[in-house]
Amino acid sequence: MTSKQQESSPVQQMIAKSRNRKGKKVIEKIIPIGLFLAASISVLTTFGIVFTLIFETVEFFTRVSITDYLFGKEWLPFSGKEPLYGILPLILGTFKVTLIAILVAVPFGLGAAIYLSEYASERVRKTIKPVLEVLAGVPTIVYGFFALTFVTPILQAIIPSLKIFNAVSPGIVVGIMVLPMIASMSEDAMSSVPKSIREGALGLGATKLEVSLKVVLPAALSGIIASIVLAVSRAIGETMIVSLAGGSTPRFDFGVTDSIQTMTAYIVQVTTGDAGYGTTIYYSIYAVGFTLFIFTLVMNLLATYISKRFREEY
């Protein structure tokens, strides 16, 4: 009896293996389908967003001249007499905040990246980098209150003419917000540069600083520029910080001490209930949103092109 069981056990094992193989084959067929559906949902969602923006923007331009929209220097949608929809003041306000943010984020972000990549020990790097990246997880509304109640009073003590709502305070805080993006991505790009290049430069008599600035930095330039471009894109699309600390006064000037309004801040203003559904003001938020979408799309495509065009392969 025992011998028969021993003889049948290999057969039973073969049957079990064949069943397992059938189950694996079914799973292998199902998994690609599931992954394809997941990818399709992402693509379809993107197309849905784009088509919604285009459809509603076209409706807006049936009511407002596209020439007045693109080249107009006054944005007064709530004017009782004759509403004006010139997008230039909102674009200029957005660029003011973005420029200040980049002036803050780039030097400090690159400085942090150079330190983490070239000077910090492994223990220090493992401690500082996660702490730095925690800044990326802070809700933007917290940043907004920080800009309004902490940064602005300090700046007013330095610049007496600075208004409570201005471009400087949200610009600085947006720069702090995007700083981890530049620091983290730049540090990754610099760390990918082979050690042999550093050792060769040191062997030729270069100092640590010269190696960092003249060897490693140019070698990682594609990743660094891509991180800056993505940070610019993130700064352009920032909403809550500029809504809370920037104000709601669209101005076509280059002053940074007075109240401004960005494209995202205007969208927030209208969506809080200042305009009824189906009105021209309601459709204007889609036109502004589509304009913002174009800017961020161009910046993302530029980052992709730069990272591919100037990438160094070792």
Distance in angstroms (rounded) separating the CA atoms of residues 98 and 244: 16
Quote the pTM value.
Answer: 0.81
User: What is the rounded distance in angstroms from the CA atom of residue 209 to the CA atom of residue 116?
Assistant: 13
Q: Give just the sign of the alpha carbon dihedral 239, 245, 250, 253.
A: negative
Q: Please state the rounded mean pLDDT for residues 45-54.
A: 86
pLDDT-based confidence at residue 118 (cuts at 50, 70, 90)? confident
Check if the beta carbon of residue 274 is closer than 8 Å to that of residue 78. yes
Helix spans in the chain (H): 2-61, 66-71, 88-114, 122-134, 140-146, 152-158, 168-191, 195-203, 208-210, 217-219, 221-236, 240-245, 263-269, 280-309
Asked whether the predicted pLDDT for residue 278 surpasses 60, the reply is yes
Rounded to an integer, what distance in angstroms lies between the CA atom of residue 281 and that of residue 128? 47
Q: How confident is the model at residue 18 (pLDDT cuts 50, 70, 90)?
A: low
CA angle 89-93-96, nearest 5°? 140
CA-based Rg of the chain, rounded to a whole angstrom? Answer: 27
Residue that has been written with the tokens 């010139």 in this structure: 86
- pLDDT, residue 4, reads 47
Report the C-alpha gap between 277 and 302 in whole angstroms.
Answer: 36
What's the number of CA atoms in the CB half-sphere (13 Å) around residue 173?
31
Pick the more confident residue, 21 or 125. 125
The 10 Å CB-count burial string (b at 16+, else e) for 281-305 is bbbbbbbbbbbbbebbeebeebbee
Helix orientation angle between 122-134 and 168-191, rounded to the nearest 10 degrees: 140
Q: What is the pLDDT of residue 20?
A: 57
Task: Out of 125-129, 157-161, 243-247, pick the least confident.
Answer: 125-129
d(CA 173, CA 150): 10
Residues 182 and 220: beta-carbon distance below 8 Å: no
